[in-house]
């Protein structure tokens, strides 16, 4: 049995122990094909060699001497984030073969967060990260691949493939599928995107949806056009939402070629990455650069700097914790708070700002931002990357951010002097909670609790217009954590509806999580979650809740004695899901403050 990540973190076993790497019986060779040669040298595995010939190996020379590279795409047709990844994979395969290597394409699953948002399908989203990681680890180790190139598009794809790569720890890199272009509404005469569609729903329900260019425009026609025009083609959601947050973090940690996270999905640059990826994977094999060589504590610290400067998604906390745990790197909620305390929020990007990733690409892209932050002394830039160079070396010759650009503010003119991620503790969240506070909503909110035991209960109340303007309310959505959901679903439908309805008197807290497109006064990832007896499970309607981001506190105005009395009377609810993948996930998953991992015990 493999040692656990906790054993690795505590130093009980080496991260390079063959038992941990899942091939204790392997007898690797010394060339670039050191893993695949287990099957291809001499005639130890004639059946394996016969099947490899059948799969397309043209001759004995290539079989015996060429390394084998897995090309893993998270491709499927039903999601714009992923629909083009198979084509990128084909280009990668061709480029790898030109490098005198064998390339084997395969696939893993994806879940569209945008399509499942607000429905029962969203419960399957977070656990898909584990399936993706399992798939990458499984195929790489089972098939004795020497290296791995992954191609990811939607939110859980990126952390999933990196977790898989960190597990097998063979030379690997990730290509990001890139961002979608903004849509355009002829009726509104302005660019729109997926967040427009989500927030339009709240405006539609509360009769706030109108066209300033044509006040007589019917709301049915307007929302219909928004639905049709928000997503014009391939690519992931364009703001600094979860997909772009994770892509920029992973590029910053050195596991993508420079520019991958900001090259648009339909740009020539994106397809050119195939050739660069093939060159880099060979460099990694020649220099024995492995994922965990890139995934160091300093690299994670640089990723946190990027996340804070650009206003990244709260999901970045969850995924970076899981990636670090998988790589055996000690990363905690406190590291996020330390980064937020010292790194200014600089980028005027959606969801709270005006610009999208395609706009940032036009003024230099992520490498230009990295160059700026390294020069400012905010980022190490010293970590090794898949190019064989350090991050600083990668961006030294990259163009600086354009002088007249308005997207990334200077250090003397930040949007907020500190970061937007706040880690909160208190009698409501003794194990921690994650807030996204840009400062536009203020730093403190107090209101009376209105409790919902599932997200759909709040959605129903919003659909009926039952959440009023006026008195300050803290909407509490519980039993939506990793175990209680199960699956810790995103609650963008509710948060976007609140923004669209202009319910500025409302804050929203949950033991579930939010989309990267969420904004407003929101707190998620409350630990312990309600399903395991956390205090959020005993909040009652009318309890006064205070969210104090300046002092990192989330609390309810309930005495310790009353909390103890309520907890003694609390009974765990019956699990609605008792079999299948969600039931298995609920049994295995850890809490959100440790990344909601399934392989850390």
In terms of domains, do 202 and 153 share one? no
Contact, 369 vs 309, CB < 8 A?
A: yes
Q: Is residue 403 part of a domain?
A: no
CATH at residue 549: 3.50.30.80
- Name the nearest CA neighbour of 582 among 68, 26, 185, 111: 111
Q: How many CB atoms lie within 10 A of CB 589?
A: 25
In terms of domains, do 514 and 473 share one? yes
Q: Is residue 441 part of a domain?
A: yes
In terms of domains, do 123 and 225 share one? no
Cα distances (angstroms) measured from residue 308 to each of 84, 326, 336, 414, 437: 30, 22, 9, 12, 11
- Name the nearest CA neighbour of 293 among 265, 254, 335, 338: 254
In terms of domains, do 493 and 383 share one? no
In terms of domains, do 218 and 176 share one? no
Total number of domains in the chain: 3
pLDDT at 200 (0 to 100) = 87
In terms of domains, do 302 and 448 share one? no
Q: What is the DSSP string of 269-287?
A: HHHHHHHHHHHHHHHHHHH
pLDDT at 5 (0 to 100) = 45
The alpha carbon of 266 is separated from its chain's Cα centroid by a whole number of angstroms, namely 21
- Name the nearest CA neighbour of 177 among 104, 84, 276: 84
Cα distances (angstroms) measured from residue 461 to each of 99, 126, 476: 58, 25, 13
Q: For residue 387, which phi and psi values (nearest 5 degrees)?
A: -80, -10
The alpha carbon of 75 is separated from its chain's Cα centroid by a whole number of angstroms, namely 17
In terms of domains, do 262 and 367 share one? yes
Q: Which of 195, 211, 229 is the last residue of a domain?
A: 229
Please tell me the distance from the alpha carbon of residue 507 to that of residue 503, in angstroms, as a whole number: 9
In terms of domains, do 339 and 372 share one? yes
Structure tokens of 112?
């569209």
In terms of domains, do 222 and 167 share one? no
Q: Is residue 187 part of a domain?
A: yes
The residues annotated as belonging to the active site are 515
In terms of domains, do 245 and 110 share one? yes
Q: For residue 167, which phi and psi values (nearest 5 degrees)?
A: -65, -50
pLDDT at 15 (0 to 100) = 43
Instruction: Give the H or E element holding residue 159.
Output: helix 157-168
pLDDT at 352 (0 to 100) = 85
Please tell me the distance from the alpha carbon of residue 311 to that of residue 121, in angstroms, as a whole number: 27
Contact, 237 vs 194, CB < 8 A?
A: yes
Instruction: Work out the mean pLDDT of the chain and round it to a whole number.
Output: 92
The alpha carbon of 408 is separated from its chain's Cα centroid by a whole number of angstroms, namely 22
Please tell me the distance from the alpha carbon of residue 500 to that of residue 196, in angstroms, as a whole number: 9
Please tell me the distance from the alpha carbon of residue 283 to that of residue 306, in angstroms, as a whole number: 26
Please tell me the distance from the alpha carbon of residue 372 to that of residue 323, in angstroms, as a whole number: 26
pLDDT at 521 (0 to 100) = 84
- Name the nearest CA neighbour of 69 among 177, 158, 144: 144
pLDDT at 202 (0 to 100) = 76
Q: Which of 229, 262, 290 is the last residue of a domain?
A: 229
Q: Is residue 128 part of a domain?
A: yes
pLDDT at 492 (0 to 100) = 78
Domain that holds residue 219: 183-229
Contact, 386 vs 173, CB < 8 A?
A: yes
Q: Is residue 538 part of a domain?
A: yes
The alpha carbon of 250 is separated from its chain's Cα centroid by a whole number of angstroms, namely 10
Structure tokens of 543?
């309890």
Q: Which of 395, 416, 448 is the last residue of a domain?
A: 395
Q: Which residues contact 404 (CB under 8 A, 6 or more apart)?
A: none
pLDDT at 518 (0 to 100) = 66
In terms of domains, do 362 and 289 share one? yes
In terms of domains, do 569 and 498 share one? yes
**Interaxial angle between packed helices 581-588 and 125-142, expressed in degrees from 0 to 180 and rounded to the nearest 10:** 90
Q: Is residue 62 part of a domain?
A: no
Q: Is residue 27 part of a domain?
A: no
pLDDT at 29 (0 to 100) = 53
pLDDT at 20 (0 to 100) = 41
Q: Is residue 44 part of a domain?
A: no
pLDDT at 94 (0 to 100) = 98
pTM over 0.85: yes
Please tell me the distance from the alpha carbon of residue 147 to that of residue 159, in angstroms, as a whole number: 18
Please tell me the distance from the alpha carbon of residue 578 to that of residue 201, in angstroms, as a whole number: 33
Please tell me the distance from the alpha carbon of residue 451 to that of residue 51, in angstroms, as a whole number: 59
Q: How many CB atoms lie within 10 A of CB 15?
A: 19
Mean pLDDT, the chain cut into blocks of 10 residues (601 residues total): 44 46 47 94 95 97 96 97 98 98 97 90 96 98 98 96 98 98 94 88 84 90 95 95 97 98 97 97 97 98 98 95 97 98 96 94 98 98 98 97 96 95 97 88 92 94 91 96 95 80 91 78 95 98 96 97 97 91 96 92 46
State the alpha helices, DSSP H only, in 480-556. Answer: 492-500
CATH at residue 98: 3.40.50.2300
pLDDT at 153 (0 to 100) = 96
């Amino acid at each position: 049995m493999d040692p656990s990540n906790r054993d690795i973190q505590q130093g009980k076993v080496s991260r390079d122990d063959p038992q941990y790497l899942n091939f204790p019986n392997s007898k690797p060779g010394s060339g670039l094909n050191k893993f695949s040669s287990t099957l291809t040298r001499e005639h130890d595995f004639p059946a394996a060699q016969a099947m490899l010939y059948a799969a397309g190996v043209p001759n004995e020379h290539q079989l015996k001497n060429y390394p084998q590279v897995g090309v893993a795409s998270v491709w499927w047709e039903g999601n714009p984030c992923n629909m083009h990844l198979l084509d990128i994979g084909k280009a990668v395969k061709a480029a790898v073969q030109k490098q005198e290597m064998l390339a084997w394409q395969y696939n893993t699953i994806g879940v569209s967060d945008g399509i499942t948002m607000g429905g029962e399908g969203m419960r399957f989203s977070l656990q898909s990260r584990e399936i993706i990681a399992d798939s990458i680890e499984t195929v790489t180790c089972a098939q004795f691949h020497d290296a791995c190139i992954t191609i990811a598009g939607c939110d859980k794809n990126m952390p999933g493939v990196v977790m898989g790569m960190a597990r097998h720890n063979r030379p690997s890199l990730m290509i990001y599928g890139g961002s979608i272009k903004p849509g355009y509404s002829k009726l509104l005469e302005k660019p729109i995107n997926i967040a427009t569609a989500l927030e339009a729903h709240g405006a539609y329900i509360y009769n706030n949806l109108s066209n300033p260019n044509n006040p007589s425009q019917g709301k049915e026609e307007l929302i219909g056009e928004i639905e049709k025009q928000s997503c014009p083609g391939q690519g992931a959601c364009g703001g600094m939402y979860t997909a772009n947050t994770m892509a920029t973090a992973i590029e910053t940690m050195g596991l993508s070629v420079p520019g991958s996270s900001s090259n648009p999905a339909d740009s020539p640059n994106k397809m050119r990455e195939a050739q660069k990826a093939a060159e880099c994977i060979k460099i990694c094999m020649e220099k024995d650069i492995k994922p965990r060589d890139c995934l160091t504590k300093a690299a994670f610290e640089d990723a946190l700097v990027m996340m804070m400067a650009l206003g990244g998604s709260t999901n970045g906390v969850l995924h970076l914790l899981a990636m670090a745990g998988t790589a055996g790197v000690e990363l905690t909620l406190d590291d996020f708070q330390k980064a937020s305390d010292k790194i200014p929020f600089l980028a005027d990007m959606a969801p709270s700002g005006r610009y999208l990733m395609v706009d940032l690409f036009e003024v230099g892209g992520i490498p230009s931002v990295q160059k700026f932050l390294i020069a400012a002394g905010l980022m190490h830039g010293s970590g090794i990357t898949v190019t064989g160079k350090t991050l600083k070396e990668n961006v030294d010759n990259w163009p600086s951010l354009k002088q007249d650009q308005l997207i990334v503010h200077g250090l003397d003119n930040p949007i907020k002097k500190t970061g937007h991620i706040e880690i909160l503790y208190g009698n409501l969240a003794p194990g921690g909670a994650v807030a996204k506070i840009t400062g536009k909503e203020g730093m403190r909110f107090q209101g009376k609790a209105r409790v919902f035991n599932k997200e759909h209960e709040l959605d129903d109340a919003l659909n009926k217009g039952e959440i009023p303007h006026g008195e300050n309310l803290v909407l509490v959505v519980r039993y939506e954590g990793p175990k209680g959901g199960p699956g810790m679903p995103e609650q963008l439908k509710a948060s976007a509806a609140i923004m669209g309805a202009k319910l500025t008197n409302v804050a929203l807290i949950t033991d579930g999580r939010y989309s990267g497109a969420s904004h407003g006064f929101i707190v998620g990832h409350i630990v312990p979650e309600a399903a395991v007896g956390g205090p959020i499970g005993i909040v009652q309607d009318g309890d006064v809740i205070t969210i104090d981001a300046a002092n990192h506190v989330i609390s309810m105005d309930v005495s310790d004695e009353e909390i103890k009395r309520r907890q003694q009377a609390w009974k765990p609810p019956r699990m609605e899901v008792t079999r299948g993948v969600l039931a298995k996930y609920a049994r295995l998953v850890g809490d959100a403050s440790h990344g909601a991992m399934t392989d850390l015990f």
